[in-house]
Amino acid sequence: MKLVSILLLFLFALPGWSGQASPTKGKPVEGRSVKGGPAKVGPAKVGSAKVGPVKGKPVLAKGKPGPTKNAPRDAKPVCKVVPAGPKGKPPSAVLANEAPKPAADDPERERIRQLQESLDGIVRGKVLGRLRVGMRVEDLANGRLLYGRRSSTLMDPASNQKVLATTTALLRLGSTFRYRTEVTGAAPQQDGGIRGDLVIRGNGDPSLRSRHIDELAEAIATQGVTSVGGRILADPRRIGSDEAPTAGRPPLRVGSTSIEVRVRPGERPGARPLVAVSPSSDTFTIVNQAETAAKGKSRVRVSVERAGDHIQVVVTGKAIVARGEVVVRRDIPNHALFAAILLRHALIQQGIEVRGGAGLYSEDGRRVANRGIDGALLAFGQLGSDTARPLMAGEAVSPVEILALHESEPLPILIRRVNKNSDNEWAERVLETVGAEVYGGSPSTTKGVRVLRESLSELGVPASAYLPANGSGLGHQNRVTPAGMVELLRHLYFDPRIGPELMQSLSVGGVDGTTRNRFHGSSAAHRVRAKTGTLTGVSCLSGYVGDGPDVIAFSILVEGHRNRAVASVRAAQVSAVNAMMHFAHHAIQALPGDEAVPGADFETGSETDEVDTTPAPADVSDSEDVISE
């Protein structure tokens, strides 16, 4: 017993057993022993919640640490344990503001201090406090860093990627660039007839619509053309290139257009229903496998697929007599061929006789004719569309001049839809066009990304600040740092070549685009130009706020939230921008109306990645490392 008592007295005499903290060397670090050596950190109880080791950078408790209870006056303080988060989950590490605190003699000290405290409160608040947030805020007037958090961490930009793509397009293509869609063929004869075929070809215009095809037909009709002896062919190659088209987006595509399939019940149950396709063309092959039924639920199914140089429309299911006619709209599997179909239809509407059908122009310049029922290649001759002859070997089409031309709006007008409305299809086409125009050949994302890297490097954005994969931001392959986004925005703001056009393309808070329903009732309304970004678990907002000489560039990238929290995350971003607006207005107190709750946000579905529906994990890592999807 004496031996045990002596041993216990010896143990209590050691530092730490008596409630006294021994001095430590250097600054105290959470997760280390009091002597400064590494120590294993196990779960500790705080109240009723367990706290495990915290990932990321260790952080001391707020305020100046004082001496611990029962510690000698010369003992250095020991880090406090950070309280547990909701439901006992380990909290995320609290990162300090990366911007330096203003000096005591700084005339802007109070304004900057209030801005930093406001942003800290939002970032560490109930909504964003447990999420992965990257933020960078700079004063464009003097280049001063006002606030930073993970500003050098690569994060998912979502549709903020469109700013990188449109910047590249403006820098390389210029503000006068226009897309072209051409119709070529032999010159009209004196009797108004055109020998041979007409060929329509484009270079990737994302704004091409059916009304523009109608205008091409009208332009041909105004030249006195009364008939076309051959066919209407679509050349799938890009204007200016003889390279065969790749598996990417076709250079000739009529957007916002589909075919209309009408299915009307037959005369009696069991009979085949009547099927009609609009616009009408002999290029459509209808496979009617449906049946007519007297009653029941209508279960008409329509599928559209390419079959050689035809477009096959397959109709199955049941058409119910009591239901009447059913109208189904379907997209086209070959957009180039569909452009030829639309042009042929438009020419006929202009009163021009077209004796051949619609088809595709082959890669080597020879026309590809429709196949007959027996599979033999047929070509329509001069006797009319009802008479066909075998296609002769080596028979070719020789367009000799441009008969009609459509040009799109200038590039700065087009990119407004890309950034304001966050149109994914337009963004991808614009970046692919840049790659094709710079490197030649057919358009591709790979070429576009290559030009993007070169362009941002020319502007001075570090290559380590972004990892581009496409032009739209869809998917989770793109990466950018908040500092990289703000650096790009700063360059654009002061670049007279492309800055004004790019800034005009951003959505204006409370006015238009994807932020038209944000910022209502706040001082930032009408004074913030920004690009949104929305993917599953990702919400981004980057742009400018302020007016006159006081303009702030910012980037707020958020990861790890659940879908139901999107509105709350956006509201927190709006609050952060309002705080920046206070600073820009030299306001110390909140401006009138700035506490108003942002209105419902109706971002277009095209901005959201509908493919990735994987829910966010329950616990979000606060690591500085790049997220791997």
Residue 6 reports pLDDT greater than 60 = no
Contacts (Cβ under 8 Å, ≥6 apart) of 312: 284, 285, 287, 304, 305, 306
Residue 597 reports pLDDT greater than 90 = no
Residue 502 reports pLDDT greater than 80 = yes
Q: Which two tokens stand for residue 532?
A: 């949104």
Among candidate residues 407, 429, 462, the one where a domain is terminated: 407
CATH code of residue 353:
3.50.80.20
Residue 63 within any structural domain of the chain:
no
Q: What is the pLDDT of residue 363?
A: 56
Average pLDDT over the chain, rounded to whole?
80
Q: What is the pLDDT of residue 557?
A: 98
Q: What is the pLDDT of residue 400?
A: 74
Among candidate residues 314, 330, 346, the one where a domain is terminated: 330
H or E element, residue 51: strand 49-51
Q: Which of 261, 264, 278 is nearest to 328 (CA)?
A: 261
Whether the Cβ atoms of residue 569 and residue 155 lie closer than 8 Å to each other:
no
Confidence of residue 434 (pLDDT cuts 50, 70, 90): very high
Give the percent of the chain with pLDDT over 70. 72
Domain shared by 430 and 521, yes or no: yes
Give the Cα separation of 281 and 345 in Å (integer): 7
In the predicted model, what is the mean pLDDT of residues 544-563? Answer: 94
Q: Which domain holds residue 272?
A: 259-330
Residue 65 within any structural domain of the chain:
no
Q: What is the pLDDT of residue 280?
A: 84
Whether the Cβ atoms of residue 517 and residue 600 lie closer than 8 Å to each other:
yes
Q: What is the pLDDT of residue 1?
A: 52
Give the percent of the chain with pLDDT over 90. 63
Q: Which two tokens stand for residue 412?
A: 């700065």
Domain shared by 300 and 367, yes or no: no
Confidence of residue 122 (pLDDT cuts 50, 70, 90): very high
Q: What is the pLDDT of residue 232?
A: 96
Q: What is the pLDDT of residue 94?
A: 57
Confidence of residue 256 (pLDDT cuts 50, 70, 90): confident
In the predicted model, what is the mean pLDDT of residues 576-583? Answer: 95
Residue 81 within any structural domain of the chain:
no
Domain count, the chain: 3
Q: For the ranges 29-38, 105-114, 115-124, 451-460, which has the lowest average pLDDT? A: 29-38
Domain shared by 226 and 369, yes or no: yes
In the predicted model, what is the mean pLDDT of residues 120-148? Answer: 96
Give the Cα separation of 57 and 465 in Å (integer): 21
- Classify the C-alpha dihedral 224-227-228-234 as positive or negative: positive
Read off the pLDDT of residues 329-379 as tens digits, 9 standing for 90 and up: 999 889 999 999 999 999 999 999 999 999 999 855 455 444 333 333 333
Q: For the ranges 103-112, 373-382, 403-412, 511-520, which has the lowest average pLDDT? A: 373-382
In the predicted model, what is the mean pLDDT of residues 244-272? Answer: 89
Domain shared by 142 and 288, yes or no: no
Whether the Cβ atoms of residue 364 and residue 236 lie closer than 8 Å to each other:
no
Instruction: Name residue 553's beta-bridge partners.
Output: 138, 544
Domain shared by 115 and 219, yes or no: no
Residue 398 reports pLDDT greater than 60 = no
Contacts (Cβ under 8 Å, ≥6 apart) of 286: 275, 277, 313, 315
Domain shared by 359 and 381, yes or no: yes
CA distances, 436 to each of 184, 429, 469 (Å): 22, 10, 16
Q: What is the pLDDT of residue 362?
A: 80
Domain shared by 202 and 286, yes or no: no
Q: Which two tokens stand for residue 245?
A: 């088209």
More confident residue, 322 or 408: 408
Residue 589 reports pLDDT greater than 60 = no
Domain shared by 318 and 342, yes or no: no
Domain shared by 504 and 560, yes or no: yes
Give the Cα separation of 184 and 367 in Å (integer): 14
In the predicted model, what is the mean pLDDT of residues 586-604? Answer: 46
Helical segments of 251-354, H only: 335-349
Residue 9 within any structural domain of the chain:
no
Among candidate residues 367, 388, 407, the one where a domain is terminated: 407
Confidence of residue 159 (pLDDT cuts 50, 70, 90): very high
Q: Which of 278, 285, 611 is nearest to 476 (CA)?
A: 611
Complete DSSP assignment for 373-395: TTS-BEEE-TT-TT-EEEPPTT-
Q: What is the pLDDT of residue 364?
A: 54
Domain shared by 458 and 582, yes or no: yes
Give the Cα separation of 614 and 629 in Å (integer): 10
Amino acid making up residue 541: L
Read off the pLDDT of residues 281-328 as tens digits, 9 standing for 90 and up: 888 999 999 999 988 887 899 999 988 778 999 999 999 998 899 999
Domain shared by 444 and 501, yes or no: yes
CATH code of residue 433:
3.40.710.10
In the predicted model, what is the mean pLDDT of residues 171-188? Answer: 97
Domain shared by 533 and 600, yes or no: yes
Residue 508 within any structural domain of the chain:
yes
Q: For the ranges 135-139, 208-212, 329-333, which has the lowest average pLDDT? A: 329-333
More confident residue, 466 or 256: 466
Residue 71 within any structural domain of the chain:
no
In the predicted model, what is the mean pLDDT of residues 35-63? Answer: 40
In the predicted model, what is the mean pLDDT of residues 174-197? Answer: 96
Residue 422 reports pLDDT greater than 90 = yes
In the predicted model, what is the mean pLDDT of residues 215-229? Answer: 97
Residue 486 within any structural domain of the chain:
yes
Confidence of residue 244 (pLDDT cuts 50, 70, 90): confident
Q: Which of 412, 419, 528 is nearest to 164 (CA)?
A: 419
Confidence of residue 266 (pLDDT cuts 50, 70, 90): very high
Residue 612 within any structural domain of the chain:
no
Confidence of residue 167 (pLDDT cuts 50, 70, 90): very high
